[in-house]
Structure 1
Amino acid sequence: MQEPEAFPWAAVMAACLGRLGWTPDVFWTATPREVAAALAGLGMRHGQGTGRLARPGLEALMRRFPDKAHEEGGGGDDRTR
């Protein structure tokens, strides 16, 4: 029988405190369901490492932080031109 994985405290805390900007008080008073919803909003799913970002999370970041150089016709990757 396979042993259950330990809860990934470091990854969850890094996402909530670092990426979402929660204070420790907010983190420790959040319910597991609230934390799961916040992580889903970042595009992170159960079983994914913090180094991987699901497509919806990437698209949300792209909308939030558009590449201004690309929009203005300068900079960026020349391979697409």
Structure 2
Amino acid sequence: MSGLDWPGLMRAGLGGLRLRPAEFWDLTPLELQLLLAPVAQAPSLNRSGLQALMRRFPDQTPPSAAAG
């Protein structure tokens, strides 16, 4: 796993968003991501969406494990 692209994030925060350095460094990475995210974004998966996926694609026990 590579680290965060700090130079890119700093350019986006200080240049693009015009944050002051103290404002930039006070943000958490999640807060910065929210500020940089596109406005029209698909909603993230919530509990009801996960449950619908689980009903549609249930976990299955491999046949060799069921014979056990």
TM-score, normalised to structure 2, is 0.52
Unaligned runs of 5+ in 1: 44-81
Q: How does 1:29-48 map to 2 (within 5 A)?
A: 29-41=26-38
Number of equivalent positions: 40
**Aligned residue number for residue 15 of structure 1:** 12
Q: CA, structure 1 residues 25+39, in 2 after alignment: closer, same or farther (shift >3 Å)?
A: same
Q: CA, structure 1 residues 8+42, in 2 after alignment: closer, same or farther (shift >3 Å)?
A: farther
Larger Rg: 2
* Partner-residue secondary structure (3-state), 2:18: coil
Q: Does 1:26 align with 2:17?
A: no
Q: What is the CA-CA distance between 1:6 and the residue it aligns to?
A: 2.2
Q: What is the CA-CA distance between 1:39 and the residue it aligns to?
A: 1.2
Deviations 1:18-60 (A, max 9, x none): 01100000000012221010110489xxxxxxxxxxxxxxxxx
Unaligned runs of 5+ in 2: 41-68
**Please, what is the CA RMSD of the aligned residues?**
1.9
TM-score, normalised to structure 1, is 0.44
- Matched letter for residue 14 of structure 2: L
